[in-house]
Amino acid sequence: MNIQILHMIEGAKQAKGIAVVIDVFRAFSVEAYCFAKGAKKVIPVGDIDLAYRLKKENPDIILAGERHGKIMPGFDTGNSPSELMNIDVKDKVVVHTTSAGTQGIANAQNADEILGGSLVNAKAIAEYIKKSGAQDVSLVCMGLEALSETEEDTLCAEYIKSLLEGTTMDMEKEIESLKTTSGAKFFDKAQNDVFPEADFAMCTDLDKFNFVMRIKKNCCDIDYMEKIEL
């Protein structure tokens, strides 16, 4: 198995085989919690105008997402798993747009298959890839606003790679270290309105969910994310 760790938009464009687009803080953690709360499907979109149009066409849609970490005007929820806990998404369609994760989905067009990746379902992703028999695996770390690398996304990629290769990592120690690097913003009271402290624990709840999130290609409509139980 050929496993590559790639980064940001250019990495997404280079992805081949099974592409795991990784955004731990917080896009694909949020989408995992959406499915855990019973969402029917999630539509990740890179274009915010498209998100608004979809909501206008179907007011029952839940709009979720951010730009520069902040909820957008008219959205039902931001890009926060703890905030999502106050929203009823059961049996509903969630349209999700973010600065990094959903941009990776939009740009991984050369991959055979696209999965959304985060720490909360990393082991499930590795198991899915093993069962697929894939020869090429691209682990795409989307980083901060798809502009710079971040420790949490690289950690997630390295963890998935270790699971595929049968090596071990001290994930408890690695996650603890995030509190003083890329995760420090969640513990900065001045930023808690945008980055609630509870989000850190929810996004780093390792292997909480035993499902993967896969992009379903839709020839007649917009592609969407589907949940696949293992």
Nearest to 143 by CA among 181, 182, 116: 182
Low-confidence ranges of the chain (pLDDT < 70): 219-220
Question: Which CATH number goes with the domain that contains 200?
Answer: 3.90.1560.10
> Residue 101's pLDDT is what?
84
Residue-by-residue DSSP string for 93-120: EEEEE-SSHHHHHHH-TTSSEEEEE-GG
Give the pLDDT score at 112: 96
**30-83 per-position pLDDT tens digit:** 999 999 999 999 999 988 999 999 999 999 999 999 998 889 999 999 999 999
pLDDT value for 219: 57
* Count of domains forming the chain: 1
Q: By residue range, what is the domain housing residue 190? A: 2-229
Q: What is the pLDDT of residue 223?
A: 87
pLDDT score recorded for residue 220: 56
Give the pLDDT score at 107.
Answer: 92
Residues 171-184 pLDDT 10s: 999 999 999 999 99
pLDDT at 210: 98
Residue 188's Cβ-count burial label (10 Å; 0-12, 13-18, 19+) is: exposed
Q: Which residues of 10-39 are buried (b: 16+ CB within 10 A; e: fewer)?
A: ebbebbbbbbbbbbbbbbbbbbbbbbbbeb
- What's the pTM value of the predicted model, to 2 decimals? 0.95
